[in-house]
Amino acid sequence: MGDATATNPSSPTAAMDPDSEVVFDFLPYLCQYKSGRIHRPGGAPTVPTGTDPATGVVSKDIRAGPASARVYLPPGATGKIPVIIYFHGGGFVVGSPARPGTHNYLNDLVARSGAIGVSGYYRLAPEHKLPAAYDDAWAALRWAVTLGDGEDPWLLEHADLSRVFLAGCSAGANIAHNTAVRASAPGALPDGVTIRGLALVHPYFTGSEAVGGEMAFGPEIRPFMDRTWRFVVSETVGLDDPRVNPFVDDAARKASAGIPCERVLVCVAENDFLLKERALWHHREIKASGYAGEVELFESKGVGHAFHFDMLDSEQGVELQERTVAFIKK
């Protein structure tokens, strides 16, 4: 992983071809070539909106100003119900709400929780470096809590803006956290909007200094994390950027402690080599930061990072989903 050159030394033509020489290898997500070409090995498979036959959840894609999202309505929705604003993972460089795993996950979560789901699209790096994704996430949140600028029938009829939740997995959890920080600014959200909870599933955070079990990491890990972070962000001090290291100093700690959420749920996977320790650190640090709300921790045993998208119906996948649903319904 990390920087690599995918040229054959015996082939001078390949060595000189800027469209064949890899200058950044961000496995398993993408390769960037010297010519500037970006290759995403997994492609970008998508599934359409509509009625999900397994759950009865109905979805639609919306575009309103700068906001773009896939919206989910549970079957038989009546009255006012909670709203979950969800951000997908993928290292800030791949993925979308229309990706099969994300779409199926949201159908299941919305069906189990009885909440409206709003899954934000956001621009991807490196073509659109951070803060582009943060800005798009904020636009999606603002769209949702203004009831689609007062024009979306599902939100107008069913959205309970006193029960809004921010959630995400991996890079999406990072986006959810930073969106919560932004929401703490005076007047950032309309009157009557209450963010009840922030659910961080296998969150992507890091830092220049190892914490906990990161002490056992090999010497290549910290430089790899630094390279990949710098690859996705336009301007940064590196791994001590508060957007990726949210308790790095007193100012960052104060901003994280001030998130306007009543509860925080941090979910980790036992075999998540790169990110588990940092998620546990986040759980410890937010409890110690002066954050006034409740903090909860849930661990999935015997599984790795973002396992649930491929194992939604497994015992661990159902447990994680039910834990998230309980957090929403609490």
138, 182 in Cβ contact below 8 A?
yes
For the question of residue 256 being annotated catalytic, the response is: no
Of the residues 113, 170, 289, 300, only one is catalytic, namely 170
Of the residues 108, 152, 241, 272, only one is catalytic, namely 272
For the question of residue 113 being annotated catalytic, the response is: no
Beta bridge partners of 269: 300
89, 95 in Cβ contact below 8 A?
yes
For the question of residue 170 being annotated catalytic, the response is: yes
Pairing of strands 30-33, 58-64: unpaired
170, 202 in Cβ contact below 8 A?
yes
282, 204 in Cβ contact below 8 A?
no
Residue 196: both structure tokens together: 């009840």
SS3 15: helix
**Which residue in this structure is represented by tokens 């909106």?**
49
Of the residues 103, 177, 305, 308, only one is catalytic, namely 305
HSE-up of residue 93 (Cα within 13 Å, Cβ side): 23
Q: Pick from 50, 49, 121, 117: which is nearest to 77 by CA?
A: 117
**Which residue in this structure is represented by tokens 């909670």?**
82
238, 207 in Cβ contact below 8 A?
no
**Catalytic site positions:** 170, 272, 305
